[in-house]
Structure 1
Amino acid sequence: MRTSTRTLTRRGMLGLGAGAAAAAGLAGCGTGSHTSSDGSHQAGGSGEPSPSGSGRPPAKPIGDGSTSYTGKQPHQPDAPVPLEPGETPPQFVVFSWDGAGEVGNGLFPRFLDLAKEHGAHMTFFLSGLYLLPESKKRLYDPPNNPRGASDIGYLTDAHIKDTLKNVHRAWLDGHEIGTHFNGHFCGGTGTVGNWTPAQWRSEIDQAKSFVKEWRTNTGWTDLPSLPFDYDKELVGGRTPCLLGQDNLLATARELGWRYDASSPGGRQVWPAKKDGIWDLPLQQIPFPGHSFEVLSMDYNILANQSVNSTKAPAHHYPGWRVQATNAYISGFKRAYETNRAPFFVGNHFEEWNGGIYMDAVENVIQHIAREKEKGGGQDIRLVSFRQFTDWLDVQRPEVLARLRTVEVGQRPAGGWSTFLKEAPTPSGNVA
């Protein structure tokens, strides 16, 4: 019997929503961390050395030199292959970060270091405004909102530079740079939930331009270019507060996007396409001590623990840290031991309630890494959304359709060797 699910909607930046218990999903913009001192992760613009000093080709500037072509992205997994008949599917785990800004709290490089330690890849949904100086805010023309308006704060110049450094490193470490769009409008008449496909196109074009033209907008000539072509890199995103997906998808399809991570609360089952785009939602996971489930995002756990307060009394923190950790571990374990549905987790670079949600994410990454080592490293894969989409795209449609028949917490009838061995082939015969 399914339990009810309690999810809360985050409006605006920090706890502006009333948080009624049965609201839809949520998302937000996270920032934070100190700058990395490892200059080896910096790729050059015109006339600068090759990325990482590793023998990669010299950077070829694109446009004004804000971005550049530096060759194939390093540290990528082997090319995906279709599942063999009777093969157990891998357990995919995707950790993603909304906003992906750097404001000196040490969180962006903390998780880059952690990912490197455990051979994990992640997705960073960069907010375009985090590369636009506040002095140039009138360059942003948000749909249904005043020019220059934003429901998240613009970063200081120093923090924009820190964000550039960490995004730069993230891509060279093998992570994906997606988009969290720009102004994060979640309420009122200007909410992203009301935007038309044409308005989403304007928002995306602007988000891309802020990444591709940060050098022009800032006037900074002494910083290295970002080491990727954002027109090719950007294949998916997550909308503010998980709103507006229906109208976004038409535009995403026109732009050639491959997935969207904006569905407001999915279940732990194998994904399907929606309007031609892979629909990869945050998921309902067990919430220890409660009969309802919680969305697999740091802010949603916070909202259920402290009713949207981001600075509750500190005596709650130890217990809440354990509860948040166990919620994530329970979600991972349920999938890993049953239907092997991919496990998606959403986060923000924030130190809400003493940073306990960041500790919980680190704890669960370490837990999953230990489980990965037990299995020899092959049946658990910590990947980005783009890498997971690469895997989905090479699977036989009839195999994926069969995987989708296994419900939350259910094991395949007869075990994987029997269940997928009997998957029909395209001709209609049994494999």
Structure 2
Amino acid sequence: MREISRRGLLGAGLGAAAAIGAAGCGYVGAEPGQSGPAGSGDPGKGGKPSPSKSEGRLIGDGSTSDTGKQPHQPKRPEPLEPGQTPPQFVIFSWDGAGEVGNGLFPRFLELAKNHDAAMTFFLSGIYLLPESKKTLYKPPNNGIGASDIGYLTDDHIKDTLKYIRQAWLDGHEIGTHFNGHFCAGSGSVGNWSSADWRNETEQAVSFVTQWRTNSGWRDIDPLPFDYRKELVGARTPCLLGQDKLLPMAKQLGWRYDASSPGGRQVWPDKKMEIWDLPLQQIPFPGHSFEVLSMDYNILANQSRNSTNGVPANYPRWKKQATEAYLNGFQRAYDTNRAPLFIGNHFEQWNGGIYMDAVEEAIKGMAGKPDVRLVSFRQFCDWLDVQDPQVLAKLRTLEVGQAPAGGWNTFFNAA
């Protein structure tokens, strides 16, 4: 199953739902994208950067800076004790991670803060590149400046910088969703080589680490992290191209990839020494098939890929989406404790019901015993300190399979 491609404002060529009902986690239109102190006052008027005590050591042209250890990180993870029940990890992630004036980025930063949650924001590099400088982007196998998602306005780039800065200061992870989001034709990311992925990644990093040079804005605070060190994982556009991406990811020392085209609610393993953390099939209320754990896949099975379905259906669809997330959570929580991965876009599709569903899901999961709402990187931190034999044992549990005799018996069985 794959993420559905999208081209143009209305998303032509979206394709049909897969047999299991996961029509792909594509995005329609300009993937708009996707917060601590928000930085200096009035952005974008030129001049010298304002000095700031929190600015840290500036890197390169001052677009980013080294401010030390990231705030609001959990304590150092420890291996499971013999017979200990594994935590229930839930990772909410956002593709694109740009703010386009709909207020969704700050909404979910506030929600995360209220529920002690960390998330992963897969930033699209061109969301920090002014459209007037689009010729700086040279996508593999596509024309100069081409992109299947829209460039942001200057004001929206400034907003995105503000909330990416706040996100990191609040303890969230900043990954990458690369740049032009090519899903179809000969230039599709599904056809890219490892060298193409390396090229695309270097460009994505350059747009994040050189936004001051590219924009000319000098009075906006730098991003408070060294992105080359921060970046340890990604999700590819359309969930395509992982096989050629992984060799490049291994060369760069990345720790995980979230690009598998659909997984199951079981404990993860590695591919090419990289943690493989896919979106997952979760129960879809009212249907015999399961749906991929992303907002667009649920939409595709409700309104046939239309982002503006019949409003009379919105309450029912919102309830169905919320229950899909909560049912997937409860199935794992009550049985094998496999981590749950949920992907989203900052979009108001079908009246914003999927954003409401995500909010209700977070509220329904947070605060329960053993539940940890973390970023992908934080989850990898936990995985990496576990006994490999313990993880291998966990991987023997199937979807919805509880450990026979309880966790103590399970771990101590020969």
> TM-score band, normalised by the shorter chain?
over 0.9
TM-score (norm 2): 0.94
How does 1:186-335 map onto structure 2 within 5 Å?
Answer: 186-335=183-332
CA contact (8 A) 2:39 2:220 kept: no
CA contact (8 A) 1:76 1:174 kept: yes
Task: Establish whether residue 12 from structure 1 lines up as the match of residue 3 from structure 2.
Answer: no
Match of 2:412, SS?
coil
The code of the aligned residue for 1:143 comes to P
Match of 1:41, SS?
coil
CA contact (8 A) 1:69 1:228 kept: yes
CA contact (8 A) 1:26 1:264 kept: no
How does 1:384-403 map onto structure 2 within 5 Å?
Answer: 384-403=375-394
Please point out which of 80, 85, 98 is paired with 1:83: 80
CA contact (8 A) 1:151 1:183 kept: yes
CA contact (8 A) 1:30 1:347 kept: no
Deviations 1:253-294 (A, max 9, x none): 000000000001100000000011000000000000000000
CA contact (8 A) 1:103 1:159 kept: yes
Match of 1:285, SS?
strand
The code of the aligned residue for 1:395 comes to Q
Cα distance in 1 for residues equivalent to 2:40 and 2:379: 26
**Structure 2 residue aligned with 1:426:** none
**Structure 1 residue aligned with 2:51:** 48
Cα distance in 2 for residues equivalent to 1:321 and 1:87: 36
Report the aligned-residue RMSD: 1.8
CA contact (8 A) 1:285 1:330 kept: yes
Displacement of 1:414 in angstroms is: 1.5
Number of residue pairs matched?
402
The code of the aligned residue for 1:48 comes to P
Distance 1:249 1:43, change over 3 A: farther
**Structure 1 residue aligned with 2:97:** 100
Cα distance in 1 for residues equivalent to 2:206 and 2:50: 23
Deviations 1:13-39 (A, max 9, x none): 653234322277434474258xx8x8x
Match of 1:169, SS?
helix
TM-score (norm 1): 0.90
Cα distance in 2 for residues equivalent to 1:244 and 1:8: 11
CA contact (8 A) 1:238 1:260 kept: yes
Match of 2:366, SS?
helix
Task: Establish whether residue 31 from structure 1 lines up as the match of residue 32 from structure 2.
Answer: yes
Task: Establish whether residue 347 from structure 1 lines up as the match of residue 344 from structure 2.
Answer: yes
Cα distance in 1 for residues equivalent to 2:72 and 2:101: 26
Displacement of 1:143 in angstroms is: 0.5
Deviates more, 1:20-29 or 1:266-275: 20-29
Cα distance in 1 for residues equivalent to 2:100 and 2:196: 29
Distance 1:7 1:32, change over 3 A: closer
Residue segments in structure 1 that go unaligned for 5+ positions in a row: 1-5, 52-57, 423-429
CA contact (8 A) 1:17 1:308 kept: no
Among all aligned residue pairs of Structure 1 and Structure 2, give the percentage whose two residues are the same amino acid.
71
Task: Establish whether residue 406 from structure 1 lines up as the match of residue 405 from structure 2.
Answer: no
Distance 1:277 1:7, change over 3 A: closer
Cα distance in 2 for residues equivalent to 1:228 and 1:8: 30
The code of the aligned residue for 2:52 comes to P
Displacement of 1:206 in angstroms is: 0.1
Cα distance in 2 for residues equivalent to 1:8 and 1:130: 20
**Structure 2 residue aligned with 1:22:** 18
The code of the aligned residue for 1:15 comes to G
